[in-house]
Amino acid sequence: MCRFIVPFALALTAFAGGSAFAQGSSLGTPPVPNQASLPVVPSSPPLTLAAAIQIALDGNPEIASSRREVEAMEGARVQAGVFQNPTLSVEVEDVRRDTRTTTVLLSQPFELGGKRGARIEAAERAIDVARAQLETKYADIRANVTAAFFATLISQDRVRLAQASLELARTGSETAGKRVTAGKVSPVEETKAKVAEANVRLELVQARGELQTNLYQLRALTGPTVVFDAVDGNALQIPKPQAQETIEDRITSAPSMRQARLEVKRYGALSELEKAKRIPDITLNAGTMRSREVGRSQAVVGISVPLPIFDTNRGNITEALRRQDKAEEDARALELRLRADVGGARQRYVTTLAEVEALQSDILPGAQTAFDAATKGFELGKFSYLDALDAQRTLLQARSQYLRSLSELHRSITDLDRLLGGPAAASGSPVSNP
């Protein structure tokens, strides 16, 4: 089997690899491509996946926005812990100088019922939620960059494959033309060969357009400061996800689940704060009263307490409790949805992996064998050129399907990374969180 897979891998990575698929056939070995057919040499070094992820995380404005939200919540935590300011008041009775009475009071409110502690607790839970949102944003950006990177990597290999296939089709077309000139085959077969070559040429144009589109998307994620014309990686590497048991365990610790549970705690802290507000606060007053008419000063001490007759904060307490209940229901719904999405991504991986393995073990070797046999039989006059052309078309389609299956394989791994918030398993090397 290796003698089939190795040439296929070479065909995806170099133009000369196209000759491995036609060796020993009457279509001949494709000549070494001239400089005009070689890919454009990148003007800058290729971008690796680890570098792309790190650049995106460092400069992405959405990450910066989430960081600002964490800092804002930290400021709210500082404000939640401060005590209320005292109040200084001055009252003057009678504007006449000789009978004037001046009262100076200093009032200090005191919170009762644990309001300050509940307020601090709610602010700290808000910080936790903001940090969880930042972690979720990290996972999203990392997954988006990984998906764009592997889409670009697959597109690069698709361009190489299309170029190698074009050389193969061009050689076959030239061979058919020579045999028509020699009167050995019908001119119809030459026409069909040229049509096949034109189709392969069209596929090359489409592959180049797809590559440019994917490069644009990757550049949009990494920012305008990074200049690159190609990416560096192994598209033929089959990504391996974590074990099913590990994935199940990680669902409960996924960033979205952590954020949902923290929202429940935050609303719980807010409901405790609303309950604490039922207890009225007191205000202590202390000062002096100076009477010019009697010529002396008197101490003034007082206390004020609001009477919770009409407003017992019942509505706010009910609202906070119901919002806490809603957050709990949302968390349960999110877990069900997350398990379904993770299961779907995992199943897509298993299905696509079966396709890739079938292509590697059966379809590609079978298509290669049929192509070699058809072209050899055409050389010996046992098959028509149409048979060789059909075998060539089948081989090219098998190669393209192999790349599409690899692309879907990488996409399913990226979806798991996005849902679970872990490092991209498809990268081949772990990427640490910033």
* CATH number for the domain that contains residue 378: 1.20.1600.10
Structure letter (DSSP) for residue 294: T
Q: Is residue 366 part of a domain?
A: yes
Report the percentage of the chain scoring pLDDT > 90: 35
Distance from C-alpha of 21 to C-alpha of 396, rounded to nearest angstrom: 10
Whether 15 has a pLDDT exceeding 50, the answer reads no
Distance from C-alpha of 350 to C-alpha of 346, rounded to nearest angstrom: 6
Question: 199: domain range?
Answer: 2-83+114-272+309-427
Whether 179 has a pLDDT exceeding 80, the answer reads no
pLDDT at 42: 47
Q: How confident is the model at residue 284 (pLDDT cuts 50, 70, 90)?
A: very high
Cβ neighbours around 29 below 10 Å, total: 17
Which CA distances in Å does 76 have to 73, 411, 421?
A: 5, 40, 28
Higher per-residue confidence, 211 vs 429 = 211
Q: How confident is the model at residue 326 (pLDDT cuts 50, 70, 90)?
A: very high
CA angle 309, 314, 317 (to 5 degrees): 145
Q: Is residue 222 part of a domain?
A: yes
Distance from C-alpha of 158 to C-alpha of 151, rounded to nearest angstrom: 10
Residue 78 CA from chain centroid, whole number:
33
Q: Is residue 381 part of a domain?
A: yes
Using CB atoms within 10 Å of the CB of residue 406, give its burial: 0 to 12 exposed, 13 to 18 middle, 19+ buried.
buried
- The candidate with the shortest Cα–Cα distance to 170, out of 7, 27, 35, 378, is 27
Tell me: the pLDDT tens digits for 99-148?
A: 888 999 999 999 999 999 999 999 999 999 999 999 999 988 988 998 89
Distance from C-alpha of 89 to C-alpha of 91, rounded to nearest angstrom: 7
pLDDT at 40: 41
Whether 5 has a pLDDT exceeding 70, the answer reads no
E strand map for 112-157: none
Distance from C-alpha of 202 to C-alpha of 226, rounded to nearest angstrom: 31
Q: How confident is the model at residue 422 (pLDDT cuts 50, 70, 90)?
A: low
Chain position carrying tokens 């405790």: 272
Q: Is residue 296 part of a domain?
A: no
Q: Is residue 432 part of a domain?
A: no
Q: How many domains does the chain have?
A: 1
Report the percentage of the chain scoring pLDDT > 70: 85
Using CB atoms within 10 Å of the CB of residue 32, give its burial: 0 to 12 exposed, 13 to 18 middle, 19+ buried.
exposed
Q: Is residue 297 part of a domain?
A: no
Which CA distances in Å does 31 have to 17, 34, 213, 377?
A: 11, 9, 30, 22
Q: Is residue 13 part of a domain?
A: yes
Q: How confident is the model at residue 294 (pLDDT cuts 50, 70, 90)?
A: confident
Query: What is the pLDDT averaged over residues 58-84?
Result: 92
CA contacts within 13 A on the Cβ side of 96: 3
Residue 285 zone, left/alpha/beta (φ > 0; ψ -120 to 50; rest)? beta
- 3-class DSSP state for residue 13? helix
Q: Is residue 329 part of a domain?
A: yes
pLDDT at 41: 42
Tell me: the pLDDT tens digits for 336-355?
A: 999 999 999 999 999 999 99
Query: What strands, in cross-sheet order, belong to the sheet with 101-110?
Result: 87-93, 101-110, 282-291, 296-304
Output the average pLDDT for the chain. 81
Lowest mean pLDDT among 379-383, 394-398, 409-413: 379-383
Tell me: the pLDDT tens digits for 19-65?
A: 333 333 333 333 333 333 334 444 568 888 888 888 888 888 888 89
Distance from C-alpha of 177 to C-alpha of 183, rounded to nearest angstrom: 10
- 3-class DSSP state for residue 252? coil
